[in-house]
């Protein structure tokens, strides 16, 4: 069967089965063959597996991969001015427009007027094809490209596998934060890099599943008790033994209701005379404490300037 094969003449169920057996990259490449094929692939989205779309700004590209990371494909949006010297360039239909691009061994390179537009169109194309979970790292050097993309994704209620934000306290950042703070429920893992010298303390209107704050000097007990994320990790905190005592007592009396795992790393957690639940810090290591109504228990692990608390149901 060397002559061309009429793929779109196949019964819909058969076509869906064929698409299901292709890899992520093969599906993306096939979707670039024509608008009609792209539409058929979009219609078969139900059969498609979940993918993670990693907006990798260090490589200035998009990495699409399966949850187990075995099936990967890379897309690089380049500026259109750099496209003139390549003879392998073809027009690809992407999200309703036609754009030049060419294949590379690990994926494709596609040319746009600017990176921001490129990322937006490519992600729109991918969102129609797959059930996407996004992973993105927003920093000062890429925020002009990524912030509009993130807004659009939040507006579309797309789930984020991982969102990493570096906060530097700029005005733009305040605006950005205010626009996304009520959408953080869509985020599984939120990682915040906090620049200590800035005073901006972000308000949370919604909370992610897991929150990690890398430089958490600004994190107070008030913040901690307001947080509804089941997993909280605080690095470089300024919480001390007294604060830890308050946290554990609050938990025992029904505070931090959703908490499943808390990790605090702080230079101020010391094995000095200050007691926590009537004990010295190191004596807490390995202890299992129970809350007052007996419904939950928590195992405490103490390390050097670090404490971990894992909550389980008493049943």
In 69-127, at which residue ranges do the beta strands (DSSP E only) sit?
A: 72-79, 90-94, 97-104, 107-112
Q: Does residue 29 belong to the site contacting other proteins (CB under 8 A)?
A: yes
Nearer to other proteins, 105 or 273 (CB): 105
> How many alpha carbons lie under 13 Å from residue 63 in its C-beta half-sphere?
17
b (16+ CB within 10 A) / e for 61-77: bbbbbeeeeebbbbbbb
Q: Does residue 4 belong to the site contacting other proteins (CB under 8 A)?
A: yes
Tokens of 38: 């792209």
Q: Does residue 121 belong to the site contacting other proteins (CB under 8 A)?
A: no
Alpha-carbon gap, residue 213 to 106, rounded angstroms? 34
Nearer to other proteins, 14 or 156 (CB): 14
Alpha-carbon gap, residue 205 to 165, rounded angstroms? 16
Q: Does residue 97 belong to the site contacting other proteins (CB under 8 A)?
A: no
Alpha-helical regions (H) of 112-240: 115-129, 143-155, 171-180, 221-226
Q: Does residue 306 belong to the site contacting other proteins (CB under 8 A)?
A: no
Range in contact with other proteins (rule: CB under 8 A) among 23-31, 126-134, 244-252, 258-266 = 23-31
Smallest distance, other proteins to C-beta of residue 92, A: 7
Q: Does residue 112 belong to the site contacting other proteins (CB under 8 A)?
A: no
> 207 with 184: CB under 8 angstroms?
yes
Range in contact with other proteins (rule: CB under 8 A) among 29-37, 53-61, 75-83, 248-256 = 29-37
Q: Does residue 92 belong to the site contacting other proteins (CB under 8 A)?
A: yes
Alpha-carbon gap, residue 214 to 194, rounded angstroms? 7
Smallest distance, other proteins to C-beta of residue 33, A: 5
Q: Does residue 79 belong to the site contacting other proteins (CB under 8 A)?
A: no
Contact pick of 7, 221, 268, 289 for other proteins (by CB under 8 A): 7
Range in contact with other proteins (rule: CB under 8 A) among 34-42, 48-56, 127-135, 307-315 = 34-42
Contact pick of 6, 81, 84, 157 for other proteins (by CB under 8 A): 6
Nearer to other proteins, 64 or 134 (CB): 64
Smallest distance, other proteins to C-beta of residue 107, A: 10
Q: Does residue 18 belong to the site contacting other proteins (CB under 8 A)?
A: yes
- H-helix or E-strand spanning residue 270: none
Q: Does residue 3 belong to the site contacting other proteins (CB under 8 A)?
A: yes
Neighbouring C-beta atoms of residue 101, cutoff 10 Å: 24
Nearer to other proteins, 111 or 235 (CB): 111
Tokens of 197: 């010298």
Beta bridge partners of 302: 307
| Residues 169, 230, 146, 137, CA torsion sign | positive
Q: Which residues contact 309 (CB under 8 A, 6 or more apart)?
A: 248, 251, 259, 261, 262, 263, 298, 299, 300, 301
Q: Does residue 9 belong to the site contacting other proteins (CB under 8 A)?
A: yes
Smallest distance, other proteins to C-beta of residue 131, A: 20
Q: Does residue 10 belong to the site contacting other proteins (CB under 8 A)?
A: yes
The SS3 assignment for 60 reads coil
Contact pick of 50, 90, 174, 201 for other proteins (by CB under 8 A): 90
Smallest distance, other proteins to C-beta of residue 289, A: 49
Question: Which residues are at the interface with other proteins (CB under 8 A)?
Answer: 1, 3-11, 13-14, 17-18, 21-23, 26, 29-30, 32-34, 36-37, 90, 92, 103, 108
């Amino acid at each position: 069967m060397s002559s061309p094969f009429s793929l779109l003449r196949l019964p819909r169920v058969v076509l869906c089965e064929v698409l299901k057996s292709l890899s992520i990259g093969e599906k993306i490449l096939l979707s670039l063959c024509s608008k009609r094929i792209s539409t058929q692939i979009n219609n078969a989205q139900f059969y498609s597996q979940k993918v993670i779309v990693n907006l990798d700004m260090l490589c200035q590209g998009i990495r699409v991969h399966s949850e187990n990371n075995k099936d990967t494909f890379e897309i690089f949006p380049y500026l259109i001015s750099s496209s003139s010297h390549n003879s392998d360039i073809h027009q690809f239909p992407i999200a309703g427009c036609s754009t030049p691009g060419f294949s590379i061994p690990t994926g494709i390179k596609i040319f746009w007027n600017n990176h921001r537009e490129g990322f937006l169109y490519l992600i729109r194309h991918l969102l129609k094809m797959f059930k996407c979970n996004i992973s993105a790292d927003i920093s000062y050097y890429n925020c002009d490209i990524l912030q509009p993309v993130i807004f659009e994704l939040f507006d579309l209620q797309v789930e984020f596998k991982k969102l990493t934000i570096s906060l530097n306290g700029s005005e733009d950042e305040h605006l950005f934060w205010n626009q996304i703070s009520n959408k953080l429920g869509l985020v599984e893992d939120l990682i915040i890099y906090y620049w200590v010298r800035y005073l901006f303390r972000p308000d949370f209107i919604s909370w992610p599943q897991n929150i990690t704050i890398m430089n958490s000097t600004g994190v107070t007990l008030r913040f901690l008790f307001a947080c509804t994320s089941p997993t909280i990790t605080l690095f470089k905190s300024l919480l001390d033994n007294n604060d830890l005592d308050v946290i554990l007592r609050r938990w025992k009396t029904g505070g931090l209701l959703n908490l499943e795992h808390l990790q605090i790393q702080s230079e101020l957690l010391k094995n000095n005379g200050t007691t926590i639940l009537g004990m010295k810090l190191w004596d807490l290591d390995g202890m299992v404490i129970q809350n007052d109504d007996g419904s939950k228990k928590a195992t405490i692990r103490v390390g050097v300037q670090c404490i971990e608390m894992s909550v389980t149901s008493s049943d």
